[in-house]
Structure 1
Amino acid sequence: MSKTRIVFVHGMDGYGVAAWPAQHLLAGNYDCLFLKRTGFDAVEPPVATDFEADARIVIDALGEGGHIVAHAQGAIAAVMAAVERPELVKSLILVEPALLSLTAELPATAAYREYVEPLFARSAELSDMAFSAEFRRVTASMAGPGRAGYSPGAAGVVRPVPAESSARIAARIHLQAPQWEAPLHIVPGVPTLVLTGGWEPLYEEIAEYLTTTGAVHRVAPGGHRPHDNPQGAEMISAFVAAQEDALHA
């Protein structure tokens, strides 16, 4: 009997297996695929965000169907894939999801965009290193005292892949599209868990919005990466197991 598939979609802080250090053990019970989105590669040059291509990567990885676990910006591709092919998605687990398109009119999202958008407006004038440094500065300053390194929205510059140069990482950050430009819609009828770290109003606002569409919201320690925390990791594995039990009941 083949194992149930779980597709993992990373954010900005690493990609592939390296982005999911606490989820490796799930491979003992599930067919786990740890994806690389467009522009995330240790050899090929970084390229600009392509939301549609990322969604296609997720759909192709699902094969005949499975669960999706996505972090931060990776949640955009996950939701787009689930909207396009809901019959393939057994459940959707969104960790600190950067789904700003869905909450554009809400206060925390509007404030974030107002604060960060001027940087994207000046993007063409800045070098990769200058843009990256300014991006880190403005997002860290929004995070508040003691939270530097966990940046809202595209945050994810917390744990870059160690083998990559600072120039490559800066080029990738510079090429990322603002999350509020993603063409998102509500996912119809897919069991959804939203996991947040309880530290940043932007993500809590997005999570609470998703609960109005039927999602379950849970909070675990760990800042922008609550899935690295044992409590958060257990919430993910328990949700997947519960959906599997429900499907086979």
Structure 2
Amino acid sequence: MFKQRVVFVHGAGSFGAAAWPKQHGMALDYDALFLRRHGFDAVAEPLESDFSADAAIVLGALADDGRGASGGHVVAHSQGAIAAMMAAVERPDLVHSLTLVEPACLSLTAELPATAAHRALMQPLFDVRHHLSNEDFEREFVRRVFSAEATGDITPEGLRAARRLRLQAPPWEAPLHIVPGVPTLVLTGGWEPLYEEIAGYLRETGALHRIAAGGHRPQDSAEGDQVIRAFIADVGRHQHAHAS
């Protein structure tokens, strides 16, 4: 039986399947691929982020699967939404739908108040990130974004994660454009005005917006997981009926 492909694109923290614990079971009904963005590896040293390389990874996952089929649904979290949108702009024919969870698409809303305030808070930190230690950058990043103290373990993976975070480019520098004609869901946690502002902007361009519990990771809640699954299933049914 042919399964539709669903490509999952992680944010700045966990990557691969570990970033999508509630969505593992979708592999029963879909050809589910859990990607690793550029510079994310369990062993290799992290690399500077590369928006174009990330988009190419997404497009590669949507390419011909060897059975003559190509394309699929894309589900992306936080900074992963940048790569998802860039891929959809470049090849909208391959992207059956976009699900953007707490999308860090700040370059779209640069002139709006919550985004401008966030950039004013974070820009000074990014300006000096190459002069800070990995741990100092992570500590200050967490303090500014979440008003909390970093609690990461000083393990080899913890040190790699801190370095990886420091090497991520500011999301407001991403070359983003609105995706024409691709069914889009924006899922937010309702906790942070910045992400609600981005969701509102995307809603004005035609996206469906839903809010679920879970803070910055609403996909981890039962409600958020159900919203994602229902949207993909609905789009899939509609496209199948249209093609018949």
TM-score when normalising by structure 2: 0.93
**1:204 Cα deviation (Å)?**
0.2
Aligned alpha-carbon RMSD (Å): 1.7
Q: Counterpart of 2:108?
A: 102
Mark the CA change 1:225 to 1:162 in structure 2 (over 3 Å): closer, same or farther: farther
Mark the CA change 1:212 to 1:138 in structure 2 (over 3 Å): closer, same or farther: same
Mark the CA change 1:6 to 1:208 in structure 2 (over 3 Å): closer, same or farther: same
Q: Counterpart of 2:66?
A: none
Mark the CA change 1:69 to 1:207 in structure 2 (over 3 Å): closer, same or farther: same
**1:9 Cα deviation (Å)?**
0.1
Q: Which runs of 4+ in 1 moved over 6 A?
A: 160-163
What is the distance in 1 between the residues matched to 2:41 and 2:156? 9
- Contact kept, 8 Å, 1:91 with 1:190, in 2: the verdict is yes
TM-score when normalising by structure 1: 0.91
Q: Is the aligned partner of 1:40 residue 2:40?
A: yes
What is the distance in 1 between the residues matched to 2:42 and 2:132? 24
Q: Counterpart of 2:74?
A: 68
Give the residue type in structure 2 aligned to 1:238: A
Give the paired residue count.
235
1:229 to 197, 221, 232: 221
- Contact kept, 8 Å, 1:193 with 1:215, in 2: the verdict is yes
1:114 to 117, 120, 129: 120
Query: The residue matched to 2:100 in structure 1 has which SS?
Result: strand
**1:24 Cα deviation (Å)?**
0.7
Query: The residue matched to 1:38 in structure 2 has which SS?
Result: coil
Cα deviation, 1:94-142, whole Å, max 9, x if unaligned, reads 000000000000000000000110001111221111111111111122x
- Contact kept, 8 Å, 1:109 with 1:202, in 2: the verdict is yes
Q: Counterpart of 2:22?
A: 22
Give the residue type in structure 2 aligned to 1:175: L
**1:244 Cα deviation (Å)?**
0.8
What is the distance in 2 between the residues matched to 1:201 and 1:170? 26
What is the distance in 2 between the residues matched to 1:214 and 1:161? 42
Q: Is the aligned partner of 1:203 residue 2:209?
A: no
- Contact kept, 8 Å, 1:196 with 1:220, in 2: the verdict is yes
Give the residue type in structure 2 aligned to 1:50: D
**1:245 Cα deviation (Å)?**
0.8
**1:162 Cα deviation (Å)?**
11
- 1:56-95 alignment, distance < 5 Å: 56-63=56-63, 64-95=70-101
Mark the CA change 1:205 to 1:33 in structure 2 (over 3 Å): closer, same or farther: same
**1:165 Cα deviation (Å)?**
2.4
What is the distance in 2 between the residues matched to 1:134 and 1:221? 26
1:220 to 192, 212, 228: 212
Range with greater deviation from structure 2 (160-169 or 230-239): 160-169
**1:174 Cα deviation (Å)?**
1.0
What is the distance in 1 between the residues matched to 2:155 and 2:163? 15
Q: Counterpart of 1:152?
A: none
Mark the CA change 1:163 to 1:36 in structure 2 (over 3 Å): closer, same or farther: farther
**1:163 Cα deviation (Å)?**
8.0
- Gaps in structure 2 of 5+ consecutive residues: 64-69
Give the residue type in structure 1 aligned to 2:12: M
What is the distance in 2 between the residues matched to 1:161 and 1:176? 20
**1:241 Cα deviation (Å)?**
0.5
Mark the CA change 1:84 to 1:116 in structure 2 (over 3 Å): closer, same or farther: same
- Contact kept, 8 Å, 1:48 with 1:176, in 2: the verdict is yes
What is the distance in 2 between the residues matched to 1:161 and 1:41? 18
Q: Is the aligned partner of 1:168 residue 2:174?
A: no
Give the residue type in structure 1 aligned to 2:166: H
- Gaps in structure 1 of 5+ consecutive residues: 142-147, 150-156
Cα deviation, 1:161-206, whole Å, max 9, x if unaligned, reads 9985221111111111000000000001000000000000000000
Query: The residue matched to 1:194 in structure 2 has which SS?
Result: strand
